[in-house]
A and B are shown apart, each in its own frame.
Chain A
Amino acid sequence: MSHIENTETHNQSLISRLQSFIKNGNGNIVRLLTAVIVIFTLLSMARPETFLTIRNMQSMAFQASEIGILTIAIMVTMLSGGIDLAIVSTASLSGIIAGMILTSMVPPESSAGTVALGLVLAILAALIIGVVCGAFSGYLVAVWEMPAILATLGTSLLYKGLGTAITGGVTVFGITESQFIGNGEVLGIPFPLILLLIVSIITGIILSRTRFGINLYMLGTNPTAARFSGIDNRRVLIYSYIISGVLSAIAGIIILGRTNAMNVDFGASYVLLAILIAVLGDVDPYGGSGNVIGVLLALVAMQFLSTGFNMLLYKSSGANFFKEFAWGALLIIVLIVNHFSDKRRTMRIS
Chain B
Amino acid sequence: MFRQLFRKHEFFIAIILIVISLTIGLINPRFFSLANVFSLLRRATIMGIFSMGVLIVLISGGIDVSFTGIAIFSMYTTVSILVARDFQGSIFLPFIISGLLGLILGLINGVIIGVFKLPTLIVTLGTLSLYRGAMLFFVGSNYYNQAELPVAIKEFARASVFTVETSSGKTGLHPTFFILAFLGFIVWYVLKYTMLGRSFYAMGGDRESAERAGFNILRTQLIIYGFAGLLSGIGGMIVGALFRQANPFSIVGTELDIIAAAVLGGASIAGGRGSVIGTLLGVVLITIAKNSLVLLGIPSEWQRVIVGFFILLGTAIPMVQSLVVQRRLAMQRDEIPVTS
Please list the residues of chain A having a beta carbon within 8 angstroms of any beta carbon in chain B. 83, 140, 144-147, 149-151, 153-162, 164-165, 167-169, 223-224, 227, 233, 268-269, 271-272, 275-276, 279, 285-286, 318, 321-329, 331-332, 335-336, 339
Q: B268 touches which one: A147, A155, A164, A322 (CB < 8 A)?
A: A147
If the complex has contacts A144-B319, A154-B315, A164-B301, are A275 and B125 also in contact, measured as CB distance less than 8 A? Answer: yes
If the complex has contacts A157-B307, A160-B304, A324-B132, are A336 and B315 also in contact, measured as CB distance less than 8 A? Answer: no
Q: For window 281-340 of chain B, which residues contact chain A by CB distance below 8 Å?
A: 299, 301-309, 311-312, 315-316, 319-320, 323, 338-340
The size class of the interface chain B forms with chain A is: 35 or more
B112/A331 in contact, CB under 8 A: no
CB-CB under 8 A from A321, the residues of chain B are 133, 136-137, 141
CB-CB under 8 A from A275, the residues of chain B are 122, 125
- Is B170 on the interface with A (CB-CB < 8 A)? no
- Is B269 on the interface with A (CB-CB < 8 A)? yes
B118/A339 in contact, CB under 8 A: yes
A336/B306 in contact, CB under 8 A: no
CB-CB under 8 A from B2, the residues of chain A are none
B319/A153 in contact, CB under 8 A: no
Q: Could you tell me the distance between the alpha carbons of A157 and B313 in the complex, rounded to whole angstroms?
A: 13
- Encode B129-153 as 1/0 by CB contact (under 8 A) with A: 1111110111001000000000000
If the complex has contacts A149-B63, A164-B301, A328-B127, are A158 and B133 also in contact, measured as CB distance less than 8 A? Answer: no
CB-CB under 8 A from B112, the residues of chain A are 332, 335-336
CB-CB under 8 A from A160, the residues of chain B are 304, 308
CB-CB under 8 A from B136, the residues of chain A are 318, 321, 324-325
A324/B129 in contact, CB under 8 A: yes
CB-CB under 8 A from B169, the residues of chain A are none
Q: A328 touches which one: B128, B138, B260, B338 (CB < 8 A)?
A: B128
B123/A327 in contact, CB under 8 A: no
SS of B interface (majority): helix
Q: Could you tell me the distance between the alpha carbons of A326 and B131 in the complex, rounded to whole angstroms?
A: 10
Q: Could you tell me the distance between the alpha carbons of A271 and B121 in the complex, rounded to whole angstroms?
A: 12
CB-CB under 8 A from B118, the residues of chain A are 285, 335-336, 339
CB-CB under 8 A from B304, the residues of chain A are 157-158, 160-161, 164-165
Q: A83 touches which one: B121, B131, B133 (CB < 8 A)?
A: B121
Q: A158 touches which one: B134, B299, B305 (CB < 8 A)?
A: B305
A150/B133 in contact, CB under 8 A: no
Q: B315 touches which one: A150, A164, A323, A327 (CB < 8 A)?
A: A150
A328/B126 in contact, CB under 8 A: yes
B133/A324 in contact, CB under 8 A: yes
Q: B129 touches which one: A161, A223, A325 (CB < 8 A)?
A: A325
| Smallest CB gap from B309: residue in A | A158
A223/B123 in contact, CB under 8 A: no
B129/A328 in contact, CB under 8 A: yes
Q: Could you tell me the distance between the alpha carbons of A189 and B133 in the complex, rounded to whole angstroms?
A: 34
Q: List 19 A-B contacts (CB under 8 A).
A: A83-B121, A146-B312, A147-B269, A147-B315, A149-B63, A154-B311, A154-B315, A158-B308, A160-B308, A161-B307, A165-B302, A169-B301, A224-B338, A227-B338, A272-B126, A285-B118, A321-B136, A325-B137, A331-B122
Q: Could you tell me the distance between the alpha carbons of A168 and B301 in the complex, rounded to whole angstroms?
A: 6
Task: Determine how close the nearest CB of chain B comes to the CB of A72; give it in whole angstroms.
Answer: 17
Q: For window 35-55 of chain B, which residues contact chain A by CB distance below 8 Å?
A: none
A165/B270 in contact, CB under 8 A: no
A144/B316 in contact, CB under 8 A: yes
CB-CB under 8 A from A318, the residues of chain B are 136-137, 141
| Smallest CB gap from A142: residue in B | B340
B270/A147 in contact, CB under 8 A: yes
Task: Determine how close the nearest CB of chain A comes to the CB of B54; give it in whole angstroms.
Answer: 12
Q: Could you tell me the distance between the alpha carbons of A321 and B301 in the complex, rounded to whole angstroms?
A: 30
- Is B228 on the interface with A (CB-CB < 8 A)? no
CB-CB under 8 A from B127, the residues of chain A are 328, 332
- Is B119 on the interface with A (CB-CB < 8 A)? yes
Task: Determine how close the nearest CB of chain B comes to the CB of A68; give it in whole angstroms.
Answer: 19
- Is B263 on the interface with A (CB-CB < 8 A)? yes
A145/B123 in contact, CB under 8 A: no
| Smallest CB gap from B139: residue in A | A321
Task: Determine how close the nearest CB of chain A comes to the CB of B264; give it in whole angstroms.
Answer: 10
- Is B259 on the interface with A (CB-CB < 8 A)? yes
Q: Could you tell me the distance between the alpha carbons of A149 and B117 in the complex, rounded to whole angstroms?
A: 18
Q: Could you tell me the distance between the alpha carbons of A149 and B305 in the complex, rounded to whole angstroms?
A: 18
CB-CB under 8 A from A224, the residues of chain B are 338, 340
Q: Could you tell me the distance between the alpha carbons of A339 and B117 in the complex, rounded to whole angstroms?
A: 8
